Amino acid sequence: MPAVIVLGAQWGDEGKGKATDQLGQNTDYVVKFNGGNNAGHTVVIDGEKYALHLLPAGILSEGVTPIIGNGVVVDIEVMFQEIDEMASRGVDCSRLKVSSNAHIIPSYNRLMDQANERARGKNQIGTTGRGIGPTYADKMNRIGIRIQDLFDPEGLAEKVEAALAPKNEIFAAVGMETLNPEVVTEELLAYADRIRPMMCDVSLEVNEALDRGDTVLFEGGQATMLDIDHGTYPFVTSSNPTAGGALTGAGVGPTRIDRVIGVAKAYTTRVGEGPFPTELDDEVGEALRIKGGEFGVTTGRARRTGWFDAVVVRYATRINGLTDICLTKLDVLSGYPLIPVCVAYEIDGVRAEEMPLDQAGFAKAVPVYEELPGWDEDISGCRTFEELPANAQAYIARLEELSKCRIQSIGVGPGREATIVRYPLI
């Protein structure tokens, strides 16, 4: 299977890093196609934990070429900090390649994130404050700074000055410090020599790899329900973490894709604001949060927790054309006598089997639960489907039926090896 997309099927934090790392061991390229350092992927190898933010998960697999695509927004300072941290732990980062068309997160956009949230008051989005949204906004407004601009000092200075002038007015209006465009330009130019060897035409490189028969894995940050077009707008990210985003974020055509894999937890979590029908805002949710270690890799924020929402995952299957689901953290559900699963919603007294058309309807959605029998056994040592308790097998089978997609693999622990692979893909 030479071209495989891996993306989140819920609201993020599903374990995409582990899934990508597992699949990436058998691939030639791993291409990150969207987002920035607002997302975090955790990979555990031989008991050692690696937290990835900007770097693709393929950086941890020897022989794999990791690529940051044009759809990613890059905080260069953060990227090199992450590279230096990985290198200090013996990870070879010399293979990393970065699209010349990727947009840069300048320091003024981190301040814009703060200014925007301050202006929203009680209507805050819950942004991570890393300048992601303002940088994508600059991209759409055609005033963005790209990697290739670092090699044109005069042009870069003009672009920074033009982009920063209206932002400085906003900073001054809300009582924040203004920035000197010359200082910002010099900050960016300081990285030019170091990033030059990494720069490449990602679309050309990836398409030539596919022509050779190489295997390419496209890695998405964030998740389907945070997609700017198809997520729970306005409580979404600023990019397209869906399958279509992989095509535009890496420069490949739809006919080149063989499989689309959605990663979903055996329950559901969400970070930040926005509707969450199955949320457990009680001691049950808190216990699930503690047991599952549900705290953000990037921000450390506690994640909201809830039961598995089959309506959401069925929607993700449709939006992305999922061929497979990687289910993670099944082990966290051990010990529950009954496990509720949301099979539909009730909105103003009417049952809805699919995602509501409007945000107002989704905000009022009350989950309709079906309770499935749980299991007490520790499943962390299981490596085949048949080794799972009968009730765990039945839980998987029911999730497949409700999600309308086969569950290709099952995570039973945090380690790279703690995965049951039912259907080999690569």
| pLDDT, position 299 | 67
More confident: 61 or 122: 61
User: Does 134 sit behind a cis peptide bond, omega within 30 degrees of 0 on the bond before it?
Assistant: no
- Whose CA is closest to 104, among 184, 31, 40, 162? 184
What pLDDT band is residue 148 in, cutting at 50, 70 and 90? very high
Q: Which residues belong to the active site? A: 13, 41, 139
Beta strand 103-104 with 65-68 is unpaired
CATH 3.40.440.10 in the chain, residue ranges: 3-98+198-260
Phi-psi domain of 213 (left: phi exceeds 0; alpha: psi -120 through 50; beta: other): left
| pLDDT, position 41 | 65
Instruction: Please check the confidence at residue 183 and state whether its pLDDT lies above 80.
Output: yes
Which CATH number is 263-421 given? 3.90.170.10
Residue with tokens 């598995």: 308
CATH 3.40.440.10 fits 3-98+198-260, yes or no: yes
pLDDT above 70 coverage of the chain, percent:
96
Instruction: Please check the confidence at residue 269 and state whether its pLDDT lies above 90.
Output: yes
pTM for this model (two decimals): 0.92
CATH 3.90.170.10 in the chain, residue ranges: 263-421
Instruction: Give the tens place of pLDDT for each residue, 184-223.
Output: 999 999 999 999 999 999 999 999 999 999 999 999 989 9
What pLDDT band is residue 417 in, cutting at 50, 70 and 90? confident
| pLDDT, position 373 | 98
- Distances 142 to 25, 118, 162, 195 between C-alpha atoms, Å: 38, 25, 11, 23
What pLDDT band is residue 126 in, cutting at 50, 70 and 90? low
Q: In the chain, helix, strand, coil percent, each to 5?
A: 40, 20, 40
| pLDDT, position 48 | 79
CATH 1.10.300.10 in the chain, residue ranges: 103-195
Instruction: Please check the confidence at residue 127 and state whether its pLDDT lies above 70.
Output: no
Instruction: Please check the confidence at residue 139 and state whether its pLDDT lies above 80.
Output: yes
- Distances 59 to 98, 104, 134, 194 between C-alpha atoms, Å: 13, 21, 28, 18
Instruction: Give the tens place of pLDDT for each residue, 377-398.
Output: 999 999 999 999 999 999 999 9
| pLDDT, position 248 | 97
Distance of alpha carbon 46 from alpha carbon 33, whole angstroms: 28
Question: How deeply is 307 buried, as exposed, middle or buried, from its count of CB atoms within 10 A (0-12, 13-18, 19+)?
Answer: buried
Q: Binding-site residues, please? A: 12-18, 38-42, 128, 142, 222, 237, 297-303, 329-331, 411-413
Beta strand 338-347 with 308-309 is parallel
Instruction: Give the tens place of pLDDT for each residue, 77-121.
Output: 999 999 999 999 999 999 999 999 999 999 999 999 888 877 666
The CATH label, of 3.30.365.10, 1.10.300.10, 1.10.357.10, 3.40.50.1970, for the domain at 103-195 is 1.10.300.10
Q: Binding-site residues for substrate, please? A: 297-303
| Cβ-contact 26, 64 below 8 angstroms | no
| Cβ-contact 354, 323 below 8 angstroms | no
| pLDDT, position 158 | 97
| pLDDT, position 426 | 60
Instruction: Give the tens place of pLDDT for each residue, 296-344.
Output: 766 678 999 999 999 999 999 999 999 999 999 999 999 999 999 999 9
Instruction: Please check the confidence at residue 39 and state whether its pLDDT lies above 90.
Output: no
